[in-house]
Structure 1
Amino acid sequence: MKPALFTSTGLQKHFGGVRAVDGVNLAIEHGQVVGLIGPNGAGKTSCFNLITGLYTPDAGQFTFNGKPYKPSSPNEVARMGIARTFQNIRLFNSMTALENVCVGMHCRTGQGVLGAVFRTPAQRREEQRIREQAMALLNYVGIAQYADYLATQLSYGDQRRLEIARALASNPQVLALDEPAAGMNATEKLKLRELLQRIREDGKSILLIEHDVKLVMGICDQVTVLDYGKVIAQGTPAHVQQSPAVIEAYLGGLHHG
């Protein structure tokens, strides 16, 4: 049996006396969309930051492609095959959309400082390849027409799509998205859902933190629900929606509606 693409076991993170993440077990299979949800302060982002190397866990273990790993830095995690976006948009505002995506490929480049300084033929060929791949990614997420626009000139929804294109530029196996639908209108959310479905169909796995319950339940294969740092429910969207603990802690009257 093929091992899970990613697992965390007994994951913990404490901030003083607060247990932000308290024994979280999580698994992501190949080609699967996994949702991580819970009320505000439940520990979702802390868990996310542990997985992507921004935080160092106090306890717990990770595996990736069946092998143990310790996420010592975001750069190392990206090279390994996990790319992320952030809840608050973090684009390079003085760069164009195309340049922002090119930056996302830095962990997959082969030329060094000397090549960049002396503009060697190999360096020029690699730069051309990077630009072509970046343009293809902009087309993939549906914003190729804005390639030469500054990031700040894009609409809010298109900036979110640009962030996803930049994350995809590192060719990850797991795309980790922190509230990608935050601030989007209904039309933008529909386009986002279609994009996420396409990414999954193309063979990538997705870890999704999202407050839009309708989006999560409509696209995720598995959902993990956190409350006060602990897992209170885990399973298919249908299973999670029937959990009394989830209804009480997170879904509440929305579930009954």
Structure 2
Amino acid sequence: MTDAAHDLYLFAAVLGLLPAVALAGLPVLAQSAFVALGGVGALKLEQAGLPIGGAVLIAIALGTVAGALTGLLVGRTPPAFVALATWALTWLAYTALLDFPALAGGTEGLTRPAFDRVQTPFGAALELTPTVHLVGAVVLCALAYALVARLRGGPLGSDALALRDDAELAASVGVPIPARKAALLALCGATSAAAGAGIAILLGVAAPADAAPLLALQLLAAAIAGARHPLLGLVAIVVLQRTPDLVTPLALLAAVALRPVPKPAVDAIDPPAPVPPLEPVTGRITARDLHVTLGGRPILRGLDLDVEPGEIHALVGANGSGKTTALRALGVPHTFQRAAGFPSLTPYRQVLVALRARFHDPRAWTYLRLVGVDPFATTLTAGERRLLDVARIAATGAPALAFDEPAVGMSASERGRLEAALRALADSGRAILVVEHDLRFVAALADRVTVIDDGRVVTGDPQAAIERVYLT
């Protein structure tokens, strides 16, 4: 019973780690620090005079806060630095437990009676037998599993997948990345602290050896295995607890090599009747004497630009003339020149991420119908991905939008859909700026054209300016 309860407590920590690892792709290695916080914190608070139940709840709260703060600490760092930072936190906690005996009793740890009789809030006494712990661990795992399942199907789960697929794109459509990482690691901290408190009470001891850095590797390996199925995470943590230490890093390497790639879930959602019309928004883009220098080299040299409400304005010029730099410097939401997207999400969910909306927001259908993309398609052509770029950036609701070579890779019919979508956005009052090399596309679409060369606007007749820039 004791071993089973111990394994299930650790499985609860694995479940709490799953969203950060399986959805957001964050290699978190701070779990053993959170386990130590739960175990040492609960026993230390009990020694200070708190009832053990209250001590456990406070320890879990401390683990939640510690997880959230860790998430904020690594909020804007890439995954490799998340691993380094959280691994350093684990070692810091472990070293502190060993080097400050007054904190946690040194190598022997803190102790309490394992078979204790405690008073419940209902007035009845409860003996903390291994069977009681087993039931408690099962309940903890069930709660963690339910919370993780609910999270995965909601906005936080979609944001986590978007963050893992393309963090730059996620930030561009308004995903609050540091806040999302804080939420994911808060869940990890809460479940790990709960596991640590449960194990400390089960064994009657909270010692540094029970929260060694090796445990963080074991929990991460189990979470990666659990990405395929949660029960595989349980099997992994049970096996790793009973094998030589050398097996853990090998298991972690194998888990990373065999980790699954999430596939978009096909949502069975019927469109609203009727689909809401495109919301009118009035916007404008204005730049005066815009200068940008990169690496000591001037890129933009006093650019002036005006895009009026309801206007499609094309910015053209030869390669290296500063078009993309201008688009980025203007500070309006824009699509990328490179291929971008969230392949782990259906088009419907991708638009919901940009809308910052809950699952059944009818406006998602508005933007997908605007570009003619199947809301639940699991594969898209290159042109359809570009069309989805338009729907996704428009769904941010920004009054001014910019598009960097949106027609690349499109068929003739897809270009027609793109032209119609951009015209509809302009007709709704938005200011539309398009950077494009295809001059035939520009001629068919743009209300006005600005030509730049070497970071400056080329004055005079646009057609003559285009010939001078492109033909010389």
> Is TM-score (shorter-chain normalized) higher than 0.5?
yes
CA distance in 1, matches of 2:446, 2:466: 16
Determine the C-alpha separation between the residues in 2 that align with 1:199 and 1:246: 26
Question: Match for 1:44 among 313, 320, 323?
Answer: 323
Superposed CA deviations along residues 5-51 of structure 1, whole A, max 9, x for unmatched, are 22111101112342111100001111111111000000000111111
Aligned pairs for 1:190-209 within 5 A: 190-209=416-435
**How many angstroms apart in 2 are the aligned matches of 1:246 and 1:136?**
36
Q: Which of 440, 457, 468 does residue 214 from structure 1 map onto? A: 440
What corresponds to 1:56 in structure 2?
Answer: none
In 2, are the aligned partners of 1:13 and 1:22 still within 8 Å (CA)? yes
- Deviation string 1:199-243 (CA, Å, 9 cap, x unpaired) is 222222210000010111222121111111111137xxxx300x2
Q: Tell whether the 8 Å contact from 1:12 to 1:21 is kept in structure 2 after alignment.
A: yes
Is 1:147 paired with 2:147?
no
Tell me if the contact between 2:327 and 2:334 (Cα under 8 Å) persists in the aligned partners: no
User: How many angstroms apart in 2 are the aligned matches of 1:129 and 1:84?
Assistant: 25
Q: In structure 1, what is the equivalent of residue 293 of structure 2?
A: 14
| Equivalent residue number for residue 392 of structure 2 | 166
Between 1:208-217 and 1:133-142, the stretch displaced more is 133-142
Q: Does 1:32 align with 2:311?
A: yes
Query: Match for residue 101 of structure 1?
Result: 351
Name the CA distance, whole Å, in 2 between partners of 1:185 and 1:105.
Answer: 28
1:77-135: per-residue Cα shift (whole Å, max 9, x none)? Answer: xxxxx4211111211111111111111123xx6xxxxxxxxxxxxxxxxx2453x2112
Q: Give the residue type in structure 2 aligned to 1:138.
A: L
* Secondary structure of the corresponding residue to residue 314 of structure 2: strand
Letter in 1 for 2:446: C
Q: Deviations over 1:172-205 (max 9, x none)?
A: 2112111000122323222211222222222222
Contact 1:233 1:246 (C-alpha < 8 Å) held by counterparts:
no
Structure whose CA Rg is larger: 2
The structure in which a higher percent of residues are strand is 1
**Runs of 5+ consecutive residues of structure 1 not aligned to the other structure:** 53-81, 110-126
Gaps of 5+ in 2: 1-282
Q: Which amino acid aligns with 1:205?
A: A
User: Quick check: 1:240 aligned with 2:462?
Assistant: yes
Please name the residue that 2:238 is paired with.
none
C-alpha contact 2:352 2:359 (8 A) present in aligned 1: no
Matching residue's letter, 2:370: Y
- Paired with 1:88 and 1:197, the residues of 2 have a C-alpha distance of 23
Of 90, 111, 117 in structure 1, the residue corresponding to residue 340 of structure 2 is 90
**How far does the alpha carbon of each residue in 1:43-62 deviate from its partner, in whole angstroms, 9 at most, with x for none?**
0001111112xxxxxxxxxx
Distance 1:190 1:148 in 2: 22
- The worse-fitting range, judged by mean Cα deviation, of 4-13 and 210-219 is 4-13
- SS of the residue 1:233 aligns to: coil
Aligned to 2:365: 135
Name the % identity: 33
Instruction: Give distance in 1, aligned partners of 2:349 and 2:412.
Output: 29
> Contact conserved, 1:33 with 1:219, CA < 8 A, in 2?
yes
Give the distance between the partners of 1:147 and 1:195, measured in 2 at CA. Answer: 16
CA distance in 2, matches of 1:141, 1:248: 35
Whole-angstrom CA distance in 2 between matches of 1:246 and 1:161: 27
* SS class of match (2:369): helix
Q: Comparing both structures, which one devotes a greater share of its residues to helix?
A: 2
Retained in 2: the 8 A contact 1:89–1:163?
no
Aligned residue type for 1:149 = A
Tell me if structure 1 keeps the 8 A contact 2:404–2:435. yes
Scaled by the length of structure 2, the TM-score of the pair is 0.39
Q: Are 2:309 and 2:426, in contact at CA under 8 Å, matched by a contact in 1? A: no
2:443 and 2:348 map into 1 onto residues whose CA distance is 33
SS at match of 2:306: strand
The alpha carbon displacement at 1:249 in A equals 1.5
